Amino acid sequence: MTVTRLDQGQRYRPRMAFLKKIEALMMEMQSPDTGIKTQTQTVMVASIPHAVTGNDILQWILQRLQITSEEALHLGDLFVKYGYIYPLQEPKNLTLKADGSLYRFQTPYFWPVQGWAADDTDYAIYLAKKNIKRKGILEEYEKEHYNMLNQKINYKWDFVIMQAKEQYKAGKERKKEDRYALDCQERAYWLVNRTPPGMQDVLEYGVDRVTDPNENKKNTMEAYRREIMYYQQAIGKTRVKSSVSLGGLVKYSEQFLSNDPILSGCLPSNPWITDDPEFWDLNAKLVEVPTRMRVERWAFNFSELIRDPKGRQNFQLFLKKEFSGENLSFWEACEDLKYGDQSKVKEKAEEIYKLFLAPGARRWINIDGTTMGITVKGLKHPHRYVLDAAQTHIYMLMKKDSYGRYLKSPIYKEMLAKAVVPQETVKKSTGLFGRRHLRSSPSPIILRQQEEEAKAREAATTVDITQVMSKLDRRNQPQPPK
Amino acid sequence: MVKEECKALLDALNKVTACYRHMVLTIGGTSDSQNLREELKKTRQKAQELAVANRNKLTTVLKDKTVSKEDKAEFERLWVIFSTCLEILEIDMRRALELGHEFPLNVPKKHLIQTGMSGGTSGVAARAMSVQNMKYEAERNIDVMDLKDLENEINQVGEMMYEMEMKVNVPQWTVEAKQDPGAELKSTISVGASSIGMISVEENKSFCDISKVLAGIVFSAVLIIAIVLAVCVVKLS
């Protein structure tokens, strides 16, 4: 059988509740008293009943639903786009025109259904029938589909041709006018379900669902038991009051409004608009002189300071003065461990231990006994997150202790004073052959190398209190006799 | 011999499926009537009989070990055609059930959709049942009563397909179609004079033709006048 029948991959079309609502309206439109008045359409010598003008449809919707005429026009347009009504004079133009252009109702078999998508086999049969009727004249995109389907469902092709011939012959048993109407219906259906290139595919619905919305739930004990368990867990979840979370959101928005380049504009200018990359140059990761906005942002909260590399650099200067530089270095080393190569995890963890955590280490960090115990135990089997507890401890220490002092320190104030406020650039008019000199930014590889060199230099020149103390100790100790 | 029988049965099933599809298309439209529902029922039952006959024949052949390789390939091809046909039939039956529930015929509040159809489907049904004229003998509310039978029959067909899947091991994708793309164009179906569809749908084409013809006429008229004038000038000078 075709694969669709054995599909246990749990891909179901989502529920499209609006389809049933449109169907109800469609049925109301048919009422001889309250529905829409129909006319006959004359095609060549034949006359086919049940044609409706666009204006009539619009008026009926307005009167029935009591909405504004814009909405009614939009709604009517959707009816046409989803294939419930199809236009007669311009078949490919699936829009509702509020004038005398004629439309007709689609037969219920061809209404879009949530459970079924239009089948490839049916489309192949339709194209084959069209081939027979029009003696091979298909549209370009139809020809492409035809060839593609021939390859895709080649094993069914004999059936497709047989069925197309039979359906064509069966169609001949009906009246001429009915045959014409049937052709129009089928064409409209496939215009909606296999849209030609350039037309909007309204039946596209995004991602498939994991559960089948059509499935009838079995009322077994097991099902109820699972439901009860689910709801009990759901009640037990901790929730934040919406007033609290919304308040937090408002506060965040107010604080960061001035920093948002889209909402408040950016100085010197938005590079995407003026083609001037100065904004990016001024805000480079480790630029010499940062902008004022950036430096002010470090005062908002500690995480803003920590996530900005320039901020970390400045903070490190401050910490060195306070002799707690190893805290930030340790934090950075832990981040490197967490986000670095899996293959280097073990050696990095060991290095960090030797450098920061071991008793008598060169840059020993001050963490409490329990955390040290957990960390040392974890280091026996190192993984990425083995130093999480220690890192959090140090983070909180920096945040509660050093951060406050940093903001009042002369280092920060100096940085704030030095910070530059860029001028707003006037949009330069391009010459006739507007060729702009494109400056390319430095390659990320080079940037990373520079960072590593800077780190190595810093590690080599760092003088820590323990080293100093140990040097002093050694100086004070009596020289061993030669 | 067996091959011809199988083919004939399959052709019959194909024909009935096509007619059934045609009839299901008209449910809910203005051509719908009690007669249509009765036609649907009869066609469906005929389809089921044919399906069972097909299945029996094909399974006996496919289980037969003494069949040659080319014959086996041919029968597998027929089997694939048969199973696809049955799938289409099942889908149409399900649609018929849904539409039957939605459009009961004797309820005054529920109106049929005005689809532009005015004729009946008796010709199609007669073709399906291979009779000259259809006789209608069912009760007045067959549209509602038939739905239960329809449900049962859908279940039956579903079971049959499942059984077929389990018992006969024919990998579908190994079957190669005998007909090339575009084979339907070489068929001897007369397209000709019937459809007004062709005339009006090809509006654009006909306009182009008319304008081309007009241009040709005008051009030739101008040419003739020019020749006549030239002859007059020559004669007079």
pLDDT tens-place string over residues A352-380: 999 999 988 888 898 899 999 999 999 99
Partner B contacted by A232 (CB < 8 A): no
Q: Which whole number is the average pLDDT over A106-117?
A: 86
pLDDT at B18: 93
Minimum distance, in Å, between the CA of residue B64 and any CA atom of chain A: 21
pLDDT the model gives residue A297? 92
Share of chain B above pLDDT 70, in %: 89
Comparing CA positions, the residue from B62, B197, B164 lying closest to residue A132 is B197
Least confident residue range of A69-83, A187-201, A456-470, B206-220: A456-470
Out of A106, A162, A170, closest to residue B19 by CB: A170
Q: What is the CATH number of the domain that holds A78?
A: 1.10.10.10
What does the pLDDT look like over A297-325, one tens digit per residue? 999 999 999 999 999 999 999 999 999 99
* Amino acid A430: pLDDT: 57
Backbone φ and ψ for A51, nearest 5 degrees, come out as -100, 145
- What is the 8-class DSSP label of residue A291? B
Strand, helix or coil at A359?
coil
Q: Assess A143–B contact: CB distance below 8 Å, yes or no.
A: no
Q: Which amino acid is at A2?
A: T
In chain A, residues 363-402 whose CB comes closer than 8 Å to chain B: none
B19, B80, B115 member nearest A156 (Cβ): B80
CB A87 within 8 A of CB A93: yes
Question: Token pair of A186, please?
Answer: 């089928």
Query: What is the CATH number that goes with domain B1-105+139-176?
Result: 1.20.58.70
- List the single residue in B with minimal CA-CA distance to A169: B189
* pLDDT score, position B33: 79
Q: Starting from the edge strand earliest in sequence, which strands make up the sheet with A85-87, in order?
A: A39-43, A46-53, A102-105, A85-87
Q: How remote is the C-alpha of B119 from its chain's centroid? A: 18
C-alpha to C-alpha distance for B185 and A35, rounded to whole angstroms: 44
CB contact under 8 A, B195 and A31: no
- Kindly state whether residue A465 falls inside one of the protein's structural domains: no
H or E stretch covering A398: none
- 8 A C-beta contact, residue A168 and residue A129: yes
pLDDT reported for residue A288: 86
Q: Are A51 and B116 in contact (CB under 8 A)?
A: yes
Contacts of A157 in chain B (CB under 8 A): 177, 179, 181
Q: What CATH number corresponds to the domain at position A140?
A: 1.10.1240.60
| Per-residue pLDDT tens digits for B207-218 | 455 677 788 888
The pair of structure tokens assigned to A108 is: 């219920």
Q: Which among B103, B113, B178 has a CA at the least distance from the CA of B144?
A: B103
What is the per-residue pLDDT for B209? Answer: 59
Sign of the CA dihedral with A317 first, then A318, A323, and A327 last = negative
Three-state SS letters, B150-208: HHHHHHHHHHHHHHHHHHCCCCHHHCCCCCCCCHHHHCCCCCCCCCHHHHHHCHHHHHH
In this structure, are A165 and A314 located in the same domain? no
B222 against A40, higher pLDDT:
B222
Q: How far apart are CA A457 and CA A455, in angstroms?
A: 5
Q: Provide CB contacts within 8 A for A425, sequence distance 6+.
A: A268, A269, A274, A276, A278
Summarised one tens digit per residue, pLDDT across range A392-440 is: 999 999 999 999 999 999 999 999 999 988 888 766 655 545 555 666 7
* Structural domain includes residue A320: yes
Residue A45 at interface with chain B, using a CB cutoff of 8 Å: yes
B-facing residues of A in 306-365 (CB < 8 A) are none
Contacts of A165 in chain B (CB under 8 A): 184, 187, 189
Amino acid at the residue A352? I
Q: Are A204 and A75 in contact (CB under 8 A)?
A: no
Chain A residues close to B30, C-beta within 8 Å: 49-50
Gap between the Cα atoms of A203 and A290, Å rounded: 51
Residue A120 CB partners (closer than 8 Å, separation 6+) = A149, A152, A153
**DSSP state, residue A258:** G
- Distance separating alpha carbons of residues B202 and B129, to the nearest angstrom: 35
Residue from the list B98, B115, B196 with its beta carbon closest to the beta carbon of A44: B196
Residues ≥6 apart with Cβ < 8 Å to B212: none
User: What per-residue confidence (pLDDT) applies to B190?
Assistant: 45
Q: What is the pLDDT of residues A28-68, one digit of tens each?
A: 888 888 888 888 888 877 888 888 999 999 999 999 999 99
Whether residue A81 is contained in a domain is answered as: yes
Are residues A415 and A450 both part of a single domain?
yes
**Backbone torsion region of residue A364, taken as left when φ is above 0, otherwise alpha when ψ lies between -120 and 50, otherwise beta:** beta
Partner-chain contact A159 B200, CB within 8 Å:
no
How does DSSP assign A363-395, residue by residue? Answer: T-----HHHHHHHHHHTTS--TTTTHHHHHHHH
Residue B80 in contact with residue B173, Cβ under 8 Å? no
Residue A178 backbone phi and psi in degrees, to 5: -65, -40
Residue A373 lies in a domain: yes
Count: domains in chain A: 3
Phi-psi region of A66 (alpha: psi -120 to 50; beta: other; left: phi over 0): left
Mean residue pLDDT of chain B comes to: 81
CA-wise closest residue to A118 among A194, A179, A185? A194
A116 Cβ under 8 Å from any chain B Cβ: yes
How far apart (Å, rounded) are the C-alpha atoms in residues A278 and A269?
8
Q: Are residues A71 and A124 in the same domain?
A: no
Regarding whether A165 and A305 lie in a shared domain, the answer is: no
Judgement on whether residues A296 and A420 belong to the same structural domain of the protein: yes
pLDDT on residue A61 = 92
Same domain, A410 and A305: yes
Instruction: Please judge whether B81 and A165 are an interchain contact, meaning their C-beta atoms are less than 8 angstroms apart.
Output: no
- Number of H helices and number of E strands within chain B? 7, 0
- Residues B46-73: pLDDT tens digits? 999 999 998 888 888 888 878 788 888 8
Residue A343 lies in a domain: yes
B68-72 contacts, C-beta under 8 A, 24 or more apart? B71/B3
**Tell me: the pLDDT tens digits for A119-177?**
899 999 999 999 888 887 888 999 999 999 988 888 889 899 999 999 999 888 888 88
Q: Are residues A91 and A169 in the same domain?
A: no
Query: Which member of B14, B30, B31 has the closest CB to residue A163?
Result: B14
Q: Is residue A197 part of a domain?
A: no
**Average predicted confidence (pLDDT) for chain A:** 85
For chain B, the structural domain boundaries read 1-105+139-176, 208-236
ipTM confidence:
0.77
- The pLDDT tens digits of the residues spanning B17-46 come to 999 999 999 888 887 778 888 888 989 999
Going by the DSSP 8-state scheme, the letter that residue A30 receives in this structure is T
Residues of A in contact with B116 (CB under 8 A): 41, 48-51, 104-105, 177-178, 181, 184
- State the CB neighbour count (10 A cutoff) for residue A219: 7
**Region label for B227, one of left (φ > 0), alpha (ψ between -120 and 50) or beta (otherwise):** alpha
Residue A244 lies in a domain: no
Cα B58 from Cα B76, distance rounded (Å):
9
- What does the pLDDT read at residue A254? 94
Report the pLDDT value the prediction gives residue B67, as an integer from 0 to 100.
79
Task: Specify whether A298 is located in the same domain as A447.
Answer: yes
Biggest CA pair distance of chain A: 128
Q: Which helix (H) or strand (E) holds A48?
A: strand A46-53
Which of A1, A134, A151 to mutate to test binding with chain B, by most B CBs within 10 Å of its CB?
A1
A85 burial type by CB count under 10 A (0-12 exposed, 13-18 middle, 19+ buried): buried
CA of A196 vs chain B CAs: smallest distance (Å): 17
SS3 A341: coil
Residue partners of A441: CB distance under 8 A and separation at least 6: A277, A280, A281
A169 and A315 share one domain: no
Query: What is the spatial distance between Cα A203 and Cα A236, in angstroms, rounded to a whole number?
Result: 39
List phi, psi (to 5°) of A221.
-60, -40
Query: CA-to-CA distance for A76 and A188, rounded, in angstroms?
Result: 16
Q: Say what the pLDDT of residue B206 is.
A: 43
Token pair recorded at residue A23: 């169907």
Domain match, A96 and A153 both: no
A68 and A166 assigned to the same domain: no
Please, which contacts does A404-409 make with residues 24 or more away whose CB atoms are closer than 8 Å? A405/A318, A405/A322, A406/A305, A406/A315, A406/A318, A406/A319, A407/A299, A409/A318, A409/A321
Which pLDDT score is estimated for A462? Answer: 65
| pLDDT for the residue B197 | 39
Q: Give the whole-angstrom CA distance, residue A130 versus residue A187.
A: 9
Taking contacts as CB-CB distances below 8 angstroms, the residues of chain A near B11 are 162
Domain extent for A402:
284-424+443-456
Count interface pairs A-B at CB distance under 8 A.
208
pLDDT > 90: percent of chain A: 46
Q: Is the pLDDT of residue A480 over 80?
A: no
